[in-house]
Amino acid sequence: MTPSDGASKHDFPAASGDAGGGLSVFASNGPPPCPPRFNIAAHVLSAAATTPQKIALQVLADTHGAVAETWRFADLDRRIRGLAAGLGRAGLKPGDRVALRFANSADFPLVFFATIAAGGVAVPVAAQLTPGEAAAILHRVAPRFAAFGPGLDAPLPPGTAALDPTTLVEMATEAPGSIADTAADDPAFLIFTSGTSGSPRGVLHAQRSAWARRMMWQGWYGLSEADRVLHAGAFNWTYTLGAGLTDPWAAGATALVYAGPPDPLIWPRLAAHHHPTIFAAVPGVYRQMLRAEDDLAAAFAPLRHGLTAGEKLPPSVADAWSARTAKPIHEALGMTELSTFISGAPDRPAPPGAIGYPQPGRRVAILAEEAAPGQRHPVPRGTPGLLAAHRADPGLMIGYWQDPAADAATREGDWFVPGDRAVMAADGAITHLGRADDVMNALGYRVAPQEVEQALAGAPGIAEIAVAELPMRTDLSLIAAFVVPAADWEGTAVLEAWAADRLAPYKCPRLWIEVDALPRTANGKLRRRALVAEHRRDTTA
């Protein structure tokens, strides 16, 4: 598979500051262009040459602060280049794919970066999948090797060799070799999206994608080599791989990742023991911590700020966290195809209600939603439309794996249009209005479910809430609010009054449905379609 025309030209046109004028286009200068010869593994291991004895990773084992593993930058360099040499001796050729399926173990990033160091293409396969689901992905990508953690093997396609834990240990003893000399546009890894419906979609990324992440260092993290980054995700989640490992290591910072038994309330205790300066998690983790009685201010005293992505951060959660800790949370919007590209940041917090600003170096636009494909142009600021990123963005994927129709469906001239709705303010701040295919139709009006959810999130008696359009019959759909009750739940009458005070009549839910929990993907994202489908089954049974 070769790079798309737009993705291969990863140098932006010159831009300085706000380039949009009165239209919804925003561009600014960012990091220098990616070097033409570039390898992700060399990028993340660069600190091994300058600070070899600095701690790069601590694997945290339990709630009492025990450290299971400590990796210095020199250790990472030696192990990753040793595994890469072993893969090469076993027959891996440049461009060959290596599937990897591990539980919450440091083996995941080690094999991931070793594959890229050897010139191969890493293909993570989620540990949460069934063996049948994992086998389906393996057959789609036909890897040269498949590396499995204990108990996570799956049926292999013809021509794929298994790398079991014993084989990987033997490979790790190989003398470290050199890192492959790859081009910035060469493929590096293939991620299958978690998805909310249908088959998982493969997203092929180039080596340059890690360099593009430098736009997040200023535009989201405020990251420096002095930071200690605690990520609440597991090793085998790409959010952790990027924000929790790739970026801290490339910046020369220390990464802290928990690999002990699941415990949603562990994070204050870990923070108290290990003193992170940056904490990254999905909104649900912050919500869970706020329900507990921990002294969050004391536990997170060294923290400069929190980060969040994956789903919308309710303003009530952000406000409660700030009140308890006196520290802000900076939210980011992203997608598998591009990673996060719009965010609040320490030096430019998001205005109320907005996600934030395009990161320095990004070029973002809002295109006319009602226009025909091929005729969509930027709309005036303040007008909702389709969120678009320039196809020259160095972080944009090479393309969808063996799916040219999906590639074509996201192209609009020079823009990549993934199907999100948004509006750009006069100063360039972006407010996300949800997925275009999630938009509800109420009495002829278009209503984003996120808008209704945000209005209802602070209502009394709600632990969590999701809103969706629920088909009742072929000619009738209603806006439904699915509520996970809190301890002070008093019934729907209070919610109806709350909604009436804050929403236009056509935006107010007509159905209030109590549920025990909201369905989410393994990565914590709300599965809105699954929620609707489940309720339809319940009502038609």
C-alpha triplet 138, 141, 147: angle, nearest 5°: 50
Partner residues linked to 464 by β-bridges: 484
Beta strands in 212-258 (DSSP E): 228-231, 254-258
Q: Token pair for residue 364? A: 């973002």
| pLDDT at res. 538 | 55
| Radius of gyration of the chain from its Cα atoms, rounded to whole angstroms | 23
| pLDDT at res. 293 | 87
Q: What are phi and psi of 494, to 5 degrees?
A: -65, -40
Per-residue pLDDT tens digits for 38-66? 999 999 999 999 999 999 999 998 767 79
| pLDDT at res. 2 | 36
| pLDDT at res. 110 | 96
| pLDDT at res. 8 | 40
H or E element that contains 107:
helix 107-117
C-alpha triplet 357, 360, 364: angle, nearest 5°: 55
Decide if 376 contacts 386 (C-beta within 8 A).
yes
The helix-helix angle for 492-502 and 449-456 (nearest 10°) equals 110
Q: What is the dihedral of CA 399, 396, 311, 532, to 10 degrees?
A: -20
Listed in sequence order, the residues at least 6 apart from 504 whose beta carbon sits closer than 8 Å to its beta carbon are none
Which residues of the chain register pLDDT less than 70?
Answer: 1-21, 63, 194-199, 443-446, 473-475, 522-523, 537-541
| pTM confidence score | 0.84
The pairing of beta strand 440-442 with beta strand 445-447? antiparallel
CA–CA separation, 516 vs 431, rounded Å? 30
| pLDDT at res. 541 | 42
Q: Which of helix, strand or coil describes residue 171?
A: helix
The helix-helix angle for 107-117 and 73-89 (nearest 10°) equals 60
H or E element that contains 269:
helix 267-274
| pLDDT at res. 296 | 97
| pLDDT at res. 194 | 55
The pairing of beta strand 440-442 with beta strand 415-416? unpaired
Q: Which of helix, strand or coil describes residue 429?
A: coil
